[in-house]
Amino acid sequence: MRERQIPWWERGVIYQIYPRSFQDSNDDGIGDLAGIEARLDYVAALGVDAIWLSPIYPSPMADFGYDVADYCDIDPIFGDLEAFDRLIAAVHARGLKLLLDFVPNHTSDRHPWFIESRSSRDNPKRDWYIWRDPAPGGGVPNNWISDFGGSSWEWDEATGQYYLHAFLKEQPDLNWRNPEVRAAMSDVLHFWLGRGVDGFRIDVLWHIVKHQAFPDNPLNPDWTPDVTERDRLLQHFSTDQPEAHEISAEMRALAEDYGERLLVGEIFLPAERHARWYGTPERPQVHLPFNFHLIESPWDAAHLRAVIEDYEASLPGFGWPNWVIGSHDAPRIAARIGEAQARVAAMLLLTLRGTPTLYEGDELGIGHVTIPPERMRDPQHFRQPSLNIGRDRSRTPMPWDASPHAGFSTCEPWLPLNDDWPTRNVAAQERDPGSMLNFYRHLLALRRAHPALSVGSFTMEKAEGDVLSYVRQHEGERLRVLLNLGPEPVQPLTRQAESVRDVLASTLQARPYDGTLLPDEGLILSLAPEA
């Protein structure tokens, strides 16, 4: 039997760049493509393998680019297609890959397709979106709630029907049951794949098809008013429909025609339904259904152990895992669990079995950021202000150095910098051997040097209080990862026969292993081969 070639993304690490906040090159306080290009040496030196760019397409920016007005161009804020071509060439010249964000569920309400669709009931593009008559007694067609709160239905006075929007009313949902929509969106994928992109992160993939009869969604019995209004209902009929899996398989087949291209699908579902997005070996779907379980899990060893084991157990035999601890949608990991545990989280992310995705700025340990009310921008915040779920605080600009505006821009950035930017910035952390940045670089270098950490087998030890303990093994190399998630020193029960050769990394200061784990300490130990 021919040995399976390991594709780049199974060994690789993905780095998410939020383009508005990486580097400004034209003095408008907003990051852009030329800025990203200028910072590529930093990305390469970090030791990651691929960059995923959040959307860069023309957009009115109601949801900061997740409202696309033209899928095949670049917003002037970010540059133009020439700047994109230069960027992708520069990315490839450094041996890196480039993933774009594909936003198939909805367009902007300013997309020419929607402008046509809403122009009259008999417009040829009417059925490209989801239009419905009012309910028999009047009012919205069903009880569906937008992910940002409020009804999913928006009344269109001119044509006397409602249209569906799973997010903002400025983001009308496309009708993926219409073959013309599918063909148009396939053309979009061909456009970018032909331009050389190495794959896509696919936005809210599990949303793209709705139940044909549009029944009410059931009430969620566990909902309480302190969480988002979206969760009042279980999204049984508005998401995760069988036809969406079929489309995901079609996208995979299309990407496959271009060789080793990667599809990462944004999927928020419980483990077992999540795993169905891998498809089958005969009819594969996305390579990596994005796995948000670490973001959603309480930060303690018992929960994390269960999450990791359940996820591993849910994977189909051919399915490659992936992990993520931060994104432009989630609170900063260091804000959530503190800096000491953020180092433990970094070690966890980069030593679990599966492709890690690292979010820009987490490698600096950016934590809580104060956003004064007058500078808040996130539409999710404005729709439910009392919930404190605004995403601006994880979208603040990269602090590069201690010069004015942290070297991000020559003028005031679109969002404030992290409060501690004069000391927490790339240049300062490069000088400090103990910094979060140098810790990430060390972990990423180790991962590259020790295939056991990327493609090795994974064995979780049984429960041990606040400690997570697992072994990664590959071709005779055995590494043990010990993570103390608690505030007390502990003596983990490493097996008697196990002799530790070396400490490859510590979240604290490097030291010989003496059988003890300090509070907040994580270690990667190299073990002697098993007798």
Residue numbers annotated as active site: 203, 266
Strands (E), 395-466: 457-460
Q: Which is nearer to ligand GLC, 331 or 492 (CB)?
A: 331
43 counts as binding ligand GLC under rule CB under 6 A: no
For ligand GLC, the binding residues in 490-509 under the rule CB under 6 A are none
Q: Which is nearer to ligand GLC, 10 or 63 (CB)?
A: 63
Structure tokens at 9: 């993304």
520 counts as binding ligand GLC under rule CB under 6 A: no
Neighbours of 159 (CB within 10 A): 17
Provide the minimum distance between the beta carbon of 55 and ligand GLC in the complex, in angstroms, as a whole number. Answer: 8
203 counts as binding ligand GLC under rule CB under 6 A: yes
Element (H, E) at 113: helix 112-117
What residues have CB less than 8 Å from 200, skipping those under 6 apart? Answer: 99, 100, 101, 102, 189, 192, 255, 262, 263, 264
What residues have CB less than 8 Å from 469, skipping those under 6 apart? Answer: 460, 461, 480, 481, 482, 483, 492, 494
For ligand GLC, the binding residues in 161-200 under the rule CB under 6 A are 167
Beta-sheet strand order (sheet of 457-460): 457-460, 467-474, 477-484, 522-527, 500-506
Cα 36–39–42 angle (5° rounding)?
135
- In the bound complex, which residue of the shown chain has the CB atom lying closest to ligand GLC? 66
Q: Which is nearer to ligand GLC, 16 or 454 (CB)?
A: 16
Provide the minimum distance between the beta carbon of 95 and ligand GLC in the complex, in angstroms, as a whole number. Answer: 27
Q: Which of 70, 156, 250, 329 binds ligand GLC (CB under 6 A)?
A: 329
CA distance 2 to 11: 20
Q: Which of 9, 15, 66, 114 binds ligand GLC (CB under 6 A)?
A: 66
For ligand GLC, the binding residues in 148-167 under the rule CB under 6 A are 167
Q: Which is nearer to ligand GLC, 63 or 521 (CB)?
A: 63
Provide the minimum distance between the beta carbon of 329 and ligand GLC in the complex, in angstroms, as a whole number. Answer: 5
Structure tokens at 204: 């809210």
- Is the CA virtual torsion 191, 192, 193, 194 positive or negative? positive
Provide the minimum distance between the beta carbon of 390 and ligand GLC in the complex, in angstroms, as a whole number. Answer: 12
Q: Which is nearer to ligand GLC, 201 or 261 (CB)?
A: 201
Structure tokens at 189: 């994928």
173 forms beta bridges with 106
Q: Which is nearer to ligand GLC, 10 or 147 (CB)?
A: 147
Q: Which of 204, 267, 358, 453 binds ligand GLC (CB under 6 A)?
A: 204
Amino acid of residue 134: P
Closest to 385 in 3D by CA, of 208, 166, 228: 228
Provide the minimum distance between the beta carbon of 395 and ligand GLC in the complex, in angstroms, as a whole number. Answer: 9
| Number of alpha carbons in the 13 Å side-chain half-sphere of residue 348 | 30
**Count of residues engaged in binding ligand GLC, rule: CB under 6 A:** 9
Q: Which is nearer to ligand GLC, 329 or 430 (CB)?
A: 329
Provide the minimum distance between the beta carbon of 392 and ligand GLC in the complex, in angstroms, as a whole number. Answer: 12
For ligand GLC, the binding residues in 389-448 under the rule CB under 6 A are none
Closest to 65 in 3D by CA, of 156, 210, 162, 167: 167
63 counts as binding ligand GLC under rule CB under 6 A: yes
Provide the minimum distance between the beta carbon of 19 and ligand GLC in the complex, in angstroms, as a whole number. Answer: 13
Contact mark string toward ligand GLC, 258..287, x via CB under 6 A:
--------x---------------------
Q: Which is nearer to ligand GLC, 66 or 78 (CB)?
A: 66
For ligand GLC, the binding residues in 87-106 under the rule CB under 6 A are 103
Provide the minimum distance between the beta carbon of 67 and ligand GLC in the complex, in angstroms, as a whole number. Answer: 7
Neighbours of 62 (CB within 10 A): 17
330 counts as binding ligand GLC under rule CB under 6 A: no
CA end-to-end distance (rounded Å), the chain: 30
Per DSSP, the three-state class of 158 is coil
Element (H, E) at 112: helix 112-117
Residue ranges that bind ligand GLC, judged by CB under 6 A: 63, 66, 103, 167, 203-204, 266, 328-329
